[in-house]
Structure 1
Amino acid sequence: MTHSKKPHMARKTAATPAPATTWPRPWLFAALLLASLIAYWPALNGELLWDDPGHLTRPDLQSWSGLWRIWFEVGATQQHYPLLHSAFWIQHHLWGDATTGYHLINILWHATAASLFAALLRRLQIPGSIFAAFVFALHPVCVESVAWITEQKNTLSTVFYLAAALAWLRYEDDRRPSRYIVATAWFAAALLSKTVTATLPAALLVLAWYRRGRLSWRTDILPLLPWLALGIAAGLGTLWVEKTHIGATGDAFALTALERPLLAGRVVWFYLAKLLWPADLAFFYPRWSIDAHSAAQWLFPLAALAALAASVYWSRRDRAPLAAALLFGGTLVPVLGFVNVYPFVFSYVADHFQYLACLPIIALLAAAATRTVALLAWPRWSGPALATALLLLLGTLTWHQSHQYRDVFALYETTLARNPDSWVAHLNLGVALDDTGQPAEALPHLQRALELKPDFPETLNSLGSALNRLNRPAEAKPLLEKALLLQPRFASAHNNLGIALIGLQQTDTALASFQRALEIDPAFASARVNYAWALANSGRIPDALVQLAQARRDQPAFADAHFKTGLILAMSGQIAEATPHLRRAVELQPDNPDMHFALAHALLQQNRLPEATAHFEETLSLAPNHPGALDALHQLHRLQPR
């Protein structure tokens, strides 16, 4: 992005007509899509990662009424971005829970954004537009946004943001009301996908100044006032949701009026450094300690102000550096620390925060490189060769970075290798290990997470859960009680406390814990199944079966609800009625040896020996030391004729 105020350059610009079309070239889009697919291939079949389950469409939102709730019920989704969640709703109906489809769509949005970026630069007559588009498509700082399903909000909103910018430039050509309406619709779509795009009106004013060297109240500012109002309203709404529904409050956000500009200065330089030298990229970066009494920390905002002042001075000759700086810093404003966003609990910076903001810096550097090569007396092939070499390097870095998004273990192990003291990475890895039946391996990570960030309710709850699985309820109980002291309406902690109390033979107290969990979250199927199991063990079989029926209605594909129903019916002597539930549990969770064993036992009691034998054998294939399965097989072999 360069602009000269020299007379001969001004005459050249004035004589050059705007391109006839402002939309992406099909061949360029196809090339960008192919390049993106190759670079992101390692993540294409990646599993669900942190926060993905909170963004993909929940079972209670998958109906038409659920789509209505997505649009008109604040709190129905994690963040009130109805257009984004409508896109997820459609994708769920296309391919359900298969993650490859979501990844393909995210790559498609990314390639579309890159091609729109090229079109915008071409419309602004900025050199190096194609080169800049490929840099954006292949730059490793974009991996977190493109390889992580949750960040479809980044890629989708950027598509609408750039489409709105292009539509606005078309409106400036003839000021037709229809073009204004189209541009406004694109901007509204961007806001409904992610409200960081609220910075677009200010960005358009910067572009108007960059192109003409001045701003007009009537033609530049006045038409954008409705957009500014829309952006402010959307931003305030998101801040309210962050505070009231997501939890962006408390000591983690207690920055003073002096500390916030300190943080902002450091954040700007961090993102610029990662863009220029994308080494040691991490899912969770270290969380800095901000101290207004540290003279060294003041160097960051002072250096930023000095760079801005230099750009202002240089703008008398070339407005491009100042325009790029204003666009970069302005787009980052929502995440500079002046307002609270929940991820600040983990780190003040994240790669996905600069996905949109990196565009002006890429444009500036690509234009500068293009002009420099043109001025040098090098062979004509040298420019394309250097550009190709850089793009291959960026693509290779992105390809390697994409590997860590295959699954949670690759993601958090890589994160901990680069940031060993990330308490949230230890917590999430511990939870993943616990969820996959490895509580012993989870324990050291959860304990380390608690050491690094004491008194965090999620860590206390997760550590208590792992200890429950290791049959150490006496150790789990005080941790879970502390979690509830810190967060009384923590349904999962109430549920886990109930499990611990069951282990300590305190059934009546456990029933109260399960009931409290269900009062807080009536759709909490695991708590309802545990409540039912506790009722059954107290001799209240009919009440237990009622609760299990409700759990199966709430989550028809919840294997444990069918399993516990089958066990309770079998224990009550209703073997024939138990068998369909046990069979359904095995269908839903075929890798669970206990479910195969229970079904085999029920089949054995009905004298269905071949089927029982098959499930006992499957039990042993999954758990060679499973108690009872080997003895049962020996008995079956004696019973069956040779």
Structure 2
Amino acid sequence: MLVYLPVRNYDFIRYDDEQYVTENPQVLKGLTADGLLWAFKTTQLGFWQPLSWISHMADVEVFGLNAGGHHLVSVLFHVINTLLLFFALSALTGAVWRGAFVAALFALHPMHVESVAWIAERKDVLSGFFWILAVWAYVYYVLRPSAGRYMLVLCCVVLGLMSKPMLVTLPIVLLLFDYWPLGRFSGNVRALFIEKLPMFALSAVSGLVTFFTETAGRNLQTAPLDGRIINAVVSCGRYIAKVFYPVRLSVIYPLGDIALWQIIVSACMIAAVSAAALWNMKRYPYLFTGWFLFLIVMLPSSGIVTFGALEFQSMADRYTYVPYVGLFLIFAMALPDSWLNTPAKKNAAAAAAIIVVLVCITASTRQLRHWRDTITLFQYAVSVTQRNYVAYNNLGTALALKGLDNASFTAFEMAVAIEPTYKTAYVNLGNVLLQRNKPEEALRYYEKAVSIDTQLPGAYHGIGVALLSMGRRSEAAAYFEKAIAIDPNHQAARHFLKSLREQGNNP
């Protein structure tokens, strides 16, 4: 709580926060009957996540647009998740101090800063809450099976899937826990799979809904399958590296060329650890459960199936929020009880654990500072990554909103210099030039954007405004109509078109 307390003074980030909160008309109404109905019906942003929408509505109802309140709710969820994880692992393993070490790493690892400090990622901490709660409920179901306790597990799964579809792998995770530490594979293994069938069915439904709502799989064509698999393998290696050396963390990691050595090292590491986990299933069962928990929970966000942000970035810190639990579990269980057989050895292990946690506190505190506002966040992102055209574009947008037109124009120019087909930056360049009252120059950038993508309402609107500034009223009206045809809710284009028609009727 102390590490994350500074977020009470942090702002909204102009990167998804506007879509989830600050510019979302349904969320801005707070908790209303229409809003609740919308939350259950909408697949805006590609996912069916009604509980996440409702949590944002509740924040607006209580805090309005005071970003500090929204931030503190996310921190509260993270603190609760930490406590739940401690209780769940203590119940699972019976090892209280080892469970405490896992929970401490979960709470304080700098790779988790993004999930907690980014208001738009409320779905991470919310789905994590139900994921951990489902595991804890499952432990108590196993200890004393009953229909009521099983229904509690199912409810947690359903609520988790309604927060974020990442819970689709939870039935497999529960099977891993059945193997270790619950030791249920010594009995009727087939019954364990049958027991999970309702959960698998729920996961299948959620997966299909996610697939079809993500614009009917349009994003699946963004890169060849072999390229996506290679990126997933290398990203997995980078996630493992960052658990030990979490530096140069960025809100966006751009896709780029991957060296052969990176592929070989990552593939060999994954293969070696997987082989070791399988070979030593009986001797080191925690290695088997922890390693495959990490891999399986990471799979939906691996990039093999490219949804949302995975179109243009190779990895994301937020994707480790739950998967890292598997790796933390391995670290906590690595020292056998037979080695900790003297007070001196126990004290040495405790001292090492404390040092690791203190290092995490220091690193997380530093990483958190970069999230205080949009400009700070994206200035840091472009400083720690290469050829990050999306970060340059977002930095330019933030600078423009502060009235820093020259700096924003430079950032947008950097974006198109890195990626000449980046249509969004061309539109933004046109917008800056319109602000400078240079419609002829703005027109060229808007036309460039339209030549890349003919379905850009913002570009057509910009062309209309530029033409209107040049006195070409009838042409401008045609472009406003094009913008509205693509986006019927484009209010600015509707306003200009209405004004032109009124002036035409009343010269």
What's the TM-score once normalised by structure 1's chain length? 0.73
1:43 is the counterpart of 2:43: no
1:54 is the counterpart of 2:19: yes
Match of 1:70 among 39, 53, 57: 39
1:226 is the counterpart of 2:198: yes
Contact 1:55 1:78 in 2 (8 A): no
**RMSD of aligned alpha carbons:** 2.4
1:276 is the counterpart of 2:244: yes
Displacement of 1:126 in angstroms is 5.1
Rg comparison, structure with higher value: 1
Question: What is the distance in 2 between the residues matched to 1:371 and 1:243?
Answer: 52
Displacement of 1:533 in angstroms is 5.2
Question: What is the distance in 2 between the residues matched to 1:508 and 1:308?
Answer: 66
Match of 1:255 among 224, 248, 251: 224
Displacement of 1:96 in angstroms is 1.6
Query: Which position in structure 1 is the counterpart of 2:106?
Result: 136
Match of 1:162 among 115, 132, 135: 132
Correspondence list, 1:495-534, <5 A: 495-532=461-498, 534=500
Correspondence list, 1:332-411, <5 A: 332-368=298-334, 371=337, 374-375=340-341, 378=344, 381-411=347-377
Overall identity of the aligned pairs, in %: 26
Contact 1:144 1:351 in 2 (8 A): yes
Question: What is the distance in 1 between the residues matched to 2:275 and 2:454?
Answer: 51
Question: What is the distance in 2 between the residues matched to 1:88 and 1:358?
Answer: 26
Q: Report the CA distance shift for 1:88/1:509 in structure 2 as closer, same or farther (over 3 A).
A: same
Question: What is the distance in 2 between the residues matched to 1:112 and 1:372?
Answer: 33
Q: What are the superposed Cα offsets for residues 310-330 of structure 1, whole Å, 9 maximum, x if unpaired?
A: 221122312111111110000
Displacement of 1:308 in angstroms is 0.8
Query: Which position in structure 2 is the counterpart of 1:208?
Result: 178
Structure number with greater CO (CA < 8 Å, separation at least 6) is: 2
Query: Which position in structure 2 is the counterpart of 1:557?
Result: none
Q: What are the superposed Cα offsets for residues 239-273 of structure 1, whole Å, 9 maximum, x if unpaired?
A: 2222449x6254xx2223x3343223212211111
Question: What is the distance in 2 between the residues matched to 1:529 and 1:78?
Answer: 29
Contact 1:494 1:517 in 2 (8 A): yes
- The one-letter amino acid paired with 1:505 is G
Displacement of 1:535 in angstroms is 5.3
- Secondary structure of the residue aligned to 1:38 is coil
- Secondary structure of the residue aligned to 1:172 is helix
Contact 1:262 1:298 in 2 (8 A): no
Q: Report the CA distance shift for 1:98/1:507 in structure 2 as closer, same or farther (over 3 A).
A: same
Q: Report the CA distance shift for 1:372/1:522 in structure 2 as closer, same or farther (over 3 A).
A: farther
Displacement of 1:296 in angstroms is 5.7
Displacement of 1:335 in angstroms is 1.9
- Secondary structure of the residue aligned to 1:449 is helix
Deviates more, 1:195-204 or 1:509-518: 509-518
Displacement of 1:493 in angstroms is 1.4
- The one-letter amino acid paired with 2:389 is W
Displacement of 1:136 in angstroms is 0.9
Query: Which position in structure 2 is the counterpart of 1:98?
Result: 66
Contact 1:239 1:340 in 2 (8 A): no
Correspondence list, 1:171-570, <5 A: 171-211=141-181, 212=183, 213-214=185-186, 216-244=188-216, 248-250=219-221, 253-256=222-225, 258-290=226-258, 294=260, 297-368=263-334, 371=337, 374-375=340-341, 378=344, 381-532=347-498, 534=500, 538=503
Question: What is the distance in 2 between the residues matched to 1:333 and 1:456?
Answer: 28
- Secondary structure of the residue aligned to 2:421 is coil
Question: What is the distance in 2 between the residues matched to 1:385 and 1:540?
Answer: 81
Q: Report the CA distance shift for 1:475/1:132 in structure 2 as closer, same or farther (over 3 A).
A: same
Question: What is the distance in 1 between the residues matched to 2:37 and 2:233?
Answer: 42
- The one-letter amino acid paired with 2:318 is H
Question: What is the distance in 1 between the residues matched to 2:506 and 2:383?
Answer: 50
Deviates more, 1:497-506 or 1:189-198: 497-506
- Secondary structure of the residue aligned to 1:348 is strand
Q: Report the CA distance shift for 1:295/1:335 in structure 2 as closer, same or farther (over 3 A).
A: same
Q: What are the superposed Cα offsets for residues 563-596 of structure 1, whole Å, 9 maximum, x if unpaired?
A: xxxxxxxxxxxxxxxxxxxxxxxxxxxxxxxxxx
Number of equivalenced pairs: 498
Question: What is the distance in 1 between the residues matched to 2:187 and 2:146?
Answer: 20
- The one-letter amino acid paired with 2:9 is N
Contact 1:261 1:301 in 2 (8 A): no
Contact 1:144 1:283 in 2 (8 A): yes
Question: What is the distance in 2 between the residues matched to 1:373 and 1:442?
Answer: 59
Question: What is the distance in 1 between the residues matched to 2:277 and 2:359?
Answer: 30
Displacement of 1:437 in angstroms is 2.1
Q: What are the superposed Cα offsets for residues 360-416 of structure 1, whole Å, 9 maximum, x if unpaired?
A: 111221233585983466276554444333322211211111111111110001111
- Secondary structure of the residue aligned to 1:421 is coil
Question: What is the distance in 1 between the residues matched to 2:117 and 2:262?
Answer: 36
- Secondary structure of the residue aligned to 2:178 is helix
Displacement of 1:488 in angstroms is 2.6
- The one-letter amino acid paired with 1:150 is A
- Secondary structure of the residue aligned to 1:105 is helix
- The one-letter amino acid paired with 1:122 is S
Displacement of 1:78 in angstroms is 5.2
Displacement of 1:114 in angstroms is 0.9
- The one-letter amino acid paired with 1:206 is L
Q: What are the superposed Cα offsets for residues 458-501 of structure 1, whole Å, 9 maximum, x if unpaired?
A: 11111111111122221221221232233333221121111211
- The one-letter amino acid paired with 1:419 is T
Displacement of 1:199 in angstroms is 0.7
Contact 2:81 2:128 in 1 (8 A): yes
- The one-letter amino acid paired with 1:121 is L
1:84 is the counterpart of 2:49: no
Q: Report the CA distance shift for 1:113/1:69 in structure 2 as closer, same or farther (over 3 A).
A: same
- Secondary structure of the residue aligned to 1:91 is helix
Question: What is the distance in 2 between the residues matched to 1:321 and 1:224?
Answer: 23
Question: What is the distance in 1 between the residues matched to 2:492 and 2:404?
Answer: 19
Question: What is the distance in 1 between the residues matched to 2:447 and 2:328?
Answer: 51
Contact 2:81 2:132 in 1 (8 A): yes
Displacement of 1:421 in angstroms is 1.8
Q: Report the CA distance shift for 1:93/1:194 in structure 2 as closer, same or farther (over 3 A).
A: same
Question: What is the distance in 2 between the residues matched to 1:501 and 1:367?
Answer: 68
Contact 1:41 1:399 in 2 (8 A): no
Q: Report the CA distance shift for 1:242/1:155 in structure 2 as closer, same or farther (over 3 A).
A: same
Contact 2:3 2:365 in 1 (8 A): yes
What's the TM-score once normalised by structure 2's chain length? 0.92
- The one-letter amino acid paired with 1:234 is S
Match of 1:107 among 52, 71, 75: 75
Q: What are the superposed Cα offsets for residues 425-469 of structure 1, whole Å, 9 maximum, x if unpaired?
A: 100011112222222211111011011111222111111111111
Contact 1:126 1:367 in 2 (8 A): no
